[in-house]
Structure 1
Amino acid sequence: MAKIEAPVAKNEYYDVTFEDLTHEGAGVAKVEGFPIFVENALPDERGKVKVVKVKKGFAFGRLIELYEKSEHRVDAPCPIYSQCGGCQLQHVSYKGQLDFKRKQVEQVLTRIGKLDMTKVKVHPTLGMNDPWNYRNKAQVPIGEREGGLVAGFYQKRSHDIIDMERCLIQQAENDDVVQAVKKICEQYGIRAYNEEKHSGWLRHIMVRYGLVTGEMMVVFVTKTKEFAHKKEIIEQITKQFPQVKSIVQNINNKRTNVIFGDETNVLWGEEYIYDKIGNVKFAISARSFYQVNPEQTKVLYDKALEYAQLTGKESVIDAYCGIGTISLFLAQKAKNVFGVEIVPEAIEDANRNAQLNNITNAEFAVGEAEVVIPEWYKQGNEADVIVVDPPRKGCDEALLKTIIDMKPKRVVYVSCNPGTLARDLHVLEQGGYETVEVQPVDMFPHTTHVECVAQLFLKKGN
């Protein structure tokens, strides 16, 4: 078979009109139907691009000049936006971001989910009144430059750290503590970890902040357990920041870009800090999974609760329950809730959080949802409503099959990945369910990520 030549060539220039955005936020233009992906370009813009790489079915380009700009184009307020890989959409107006995320969800439901979109209501994305300074957890790699420490995020497509004093999507309190801890460590000659040489000591500084309580936790992620000048460093942190209630050390001696190691020790203060979402209180440890945008988490969970349509008589299963965040919201309206999570520490946190809120109608089990829930079903247990909130890879096939076999009246699917959401909705629809509504929620403004809540009903006759 003759090789089909691409209609574009590397290092050549082309005048193009951008038609769409990829799920990673790059502009999409076509030359003779051949797609070119270009960062920092928006739909409805015209410009000149230089092709920098040609692959089998697509190419990558660099924006050289804009002839016509989108109505949604704005100047990114962050001074290191063009270098940092943390945000992808600061050059898009916030309304434009919300529209893009809704369109992205609709596209994957049509293309991957093969849903009949005349029967599915995809609502406008629920955004924030103030979409800045929302992240309650700063997880910052530490490096060295010219004898001093640098703390920031990685440059796009590299592990070079961009030194940064302020991140516009982080809580300002977190930025303040990170910078202060960096300076304190510099003062005592603390060396940063070097990935290439596997030398040095301080790998990451993590700060957690309770938005409602104001409590803070500082976590040192280090190569070894030894901690030079520990007493002096702790004294300085707690003197400068009385709101810090916990200082923790995590030891990670592996050659890896995974942040945490297996050993975690409290150096000072409490093992937990506390925060609230709505009227539910949560204990948060160094390694607890806790949503980084608590304001929008309440929006997300309120919508999940609305879609569950609980009257107080229902048995609910919460698959992938984590530390019990959704489970405890559901328990306020359900007869009982059974949560499943593979991480034992998360289940310990879930039980603690239930006790903390005097919630007695929620039970939690350790295990894989796709193993535990089928076993419950075999034992004769049933559910009126099943809520799933899986990781990015979506639900396991065995779990989807069990949901179809159990036939709960309603399924509420909370998703952080529209692609796997669409795939799983297709399976559930084939198994007798009907997707009624999908609500995108902007949990991560200025990034391409979007969360969704989908409501499904068991079709009559199934």
Structure 2
Amino acid sequence: MRCRIEKLVQGGDGLSTTDEGKRLFIPETLQGELVEARIVQQKAGYALGEVTSIIEASEERIHPPCPYWGICGGCDFQYAHSDAQGRIKEQIVLDNLVRLGSLDLETIGVEPVETGPAFGYRNRVRFHVDLGTRQVGFLGKKTNTLVPITSCMVLCDALNALLADPQPLFAAARKLMFANRKGKGGYLEVPVFASDSKLSFFGEEVVATVGHRQFIVSSEVFFQSNPYLLPSLGEYVAAHALGDVVMDLYSGVGTFSAFLEQEGRHLIAVERQKQCLDMARRNVGNCEYYTQAVEDWAKGRSVQVDTVVVDPPRTGLDETLPSLIASWKPKRVIYVSCNSVTLGRDLQRFASEGYTVRKVKVFDLYPQTFHHEVVAILDRGGFEV
């Protein structure tokens, strides 16, 4: 059947409509394209399809440059021109926020997408190792089969050097084997973080420079993997924080706290992972720290705070948290999200507590993939800066 792609949705699938009025989701397509497709799976309210040929291609379509495209499951957006990817992801984000968060784009400030290098940017990775065949790579597309990789276009030079000479990965994998820590597909998963001057395997601490700040991190804690855009993200959050008391929820190793720190300001950081908070205490000295799940820490707590920064996991905020945050009456909430679907849902909850979205900005931290970071700035009631 012939299908016109109306728009792209969360995860990158193209949306079309069948002659019967059923929604049809087709991966690896771009808005406006006319494609020949077939249905591969029928669902109750929609169908899943796949492209058999492209009749009218978008001007933004390119041939994926990676030799592992379609085999490796790592990158899913290489068929779009790098210069267009950020804008396309912004359209997906805004569509989610309008549909799920009831945002009126006429009344908020949508700031330009922040972009950076399209390749060679990633400094954190989880390699899959097969000691039996002495192969290193990533899992295949929609499979748990190892795809041997000799070079990855999105990895930084230091991580690509491990693919060229994987002996350090084999040594690390042997340690995991003796600890019986196999991952998906039975392969050994070796996390590695490339810092300024050395590699971190497992919990080995290294120093990573972000803008003018330095952070103690390791491959076993979460730290954003794009050093080119992370300074802009941190500075954007810090530039919109108000007042003398600022709270950083889901603070991790103190990434945002470090940018928020300033003379005379009282910082409060909450993070459930003790390992992260131990590093945060060394990354940001002038801060009041709590090692506890954010939801548990917030229950029944009465605090006076001017700005609350939240950077939750992909699942978003616990349904009780927006009302708990609102009870502290912060003038501003800064919501950093890696999932605009759960962000849209949570913005609705904040709206019911009297908070209005003033600005939205997308950061294309993960080029060649559909992953994104988005920051929403919310103000209480009629308050506006």
Structure 1 length-normalised TM: 0.77
Distance 1:20 1:272, change over 3 A: same
Instruction: Give the equivalent residue in structure 2 for 1:282.
Output: 215
Q: Is the 8 A contact 2:308 2:332 kept in 1?
A: yes
Of 145, 158, 178 in structure 2, the residue corresponding to residue 160 of structure 1 is: 145
Q: Is the 8 A contact 1:50 1:63 kept in 2?
A: yes
Instruction: Give the equivalent residue in structure 2 for 1:53.
Output: 41
- 1:428 alignment partner, SS class: helix
Determine the C-alpha separation between the residues in 2 that align with 1:161 and 1:370.
38
User: Are residue 369 (structure 1) and residue 294 (structure 2) matched?
Assistant: yes
Measured after TM superposition, the shift of residue 195 of structure 1 is 7.0
Q: Is the 8 A contact 2:114 2:363 kept in 1?
A: yes
Q: Is the 8 A contact 2:270 2:293 kept in 1?
A: yes
Q: Is the 8 A contact 1:102 1:124 kept in 2?
A: no
Of 223, 226, 249 in structure 2, the residue corresponding to residue 319 of structure 1 is: 249
Tell me how large the CA RMSD over aligned residues is.
2.5
Distance 1:67 1:190, change over 3 A: same
Q: Is the 8 A contact 1:77 1:90 kept in 2?
A: yes
Instruction: Give the equivalent residue in structure 2 for 1:272.
Output: 205
Of 189, 199, 204 in structure 2, the residue corresponding to residue 216 of structure 1 is: 199
Distance 1:196 1:315, change over 3 A: closer
Any stretches of 5+ residues in structure 2 without a counterpart? none
User: Are residue 412 (structure 1) and residue 345 (structure 2) matched?
Assistant: no
Distance 1:448 1:196, change over 3 A: closer
Query: What do the CA deviations read for 1:268-309 (whole angstroms, capped 9, x no partner)?
Result: xxx41111112221111241221111221111111111221x
Determine the C-alpha separation between the residues in 2 that align with 1:346 and 1:45.
45
Instruction: Give the equivalent residue in structure 2 for 1:136.
Output: 123
Measured after TM superposition, the shift of residue 110 of structure 1 is 1.1
Determine the C-alpha separation between the residues in 2 that align with 1:413 and 1:113.
13
Distance 1:334 1:305, change over 3 A: farther
Higher RCO structure, 1 or 2 (CA under 8 Å, sep 6+): 2
User: Are residue 26 (structure 1) and residue 13 (structure 2) matched?
Assistant: yes
Any stretches of 5+ residues in structure 1 without a counterpart? 1-13, 220-247, 249-270
Measured after TM superposition, the shift of residue 63 of structure 1 is 1.4
Instruction: Give the equivalent residue in structure 2 for 1:3.
Output: none
User: Are residue 291 (structure 1) and residue 224 (structure 2) matched?
Assistant: yes
Instruction: Give the equivalent residue in structure 1 for 2:111.
Output: 123
- 1:16 alignment partner, SS class: strand
Of 85, 91, 104 in structure 2, the residue corresponding to residue 103 of structure 1 is: 91
Determine the C-alpha separation between the residues in 2 that align with 1:345 and 1:157.
32
Q: Is the 8 A contact 1:388 1:413 kept in 2?
A: yes
Q: Is the 8 A contact 2:169 2:190 kept in 1?
A: no
Higher mean displacement: 168-177 or 25-34: 25-34
Measured after TM superposition, the shift of residue 184 of structure 1 is 8.0
Measured after TM superposition, the shift of residue 101 of structure 1 is 1.1
Structure 2 length-normalised TM: 0.91
Q: How does 1:9-408 map to 2 (within 5 A)?
A: 14-32=1-19, 33-128=21-116, 130-143=117-130, 148-182=133-167, 185=170, 203-210=188-195, 213-219=196-202, 271-308=204-241, 310=242, 314-332=244-262, 335-354=265-284, 359-360=285-286, 362-377=287-302, 381-408=303-330
Q: Is the 8 A contact 1:26 1:39 kept in 2?
A: yes
Distance 1:333 1:439, change over 3 A: farther
Larger radius of gyration: 1
Distance 1:307 1:44, change over 3 A: same
Distance 1:194 1:280, change over 3 A: closer
Measured after TM superposition, the shift of residue 338 of structure 1 is 0.4
Q: Is the 8 A contact 1:284 1:290 kept in 2?
A: yes
Measured after TM superposition, the shift of residue 183 of structure 1 is 8.2
Determine the C-alpha separation between the residues in 1 that align with 2:97 and 2:6.
19
Q: Is the 8 A contact 2:176 2:188 kept in 1?
A: no
Determine the C-alpha separation between the residues in 1 that align with 2:48 and 2:113.
29
- 2:270 alignment partner, SS class: strand
Measured after TM superposition, the shift of residue 82 of structure 1 is 1.1
Determine the C-alpha separation between the residues in 2 that align with 1:336 and 1:189.
46
Distance 1:80 1:45, change over 3 A: same
Matched letter for residue 48 of structure 2: F
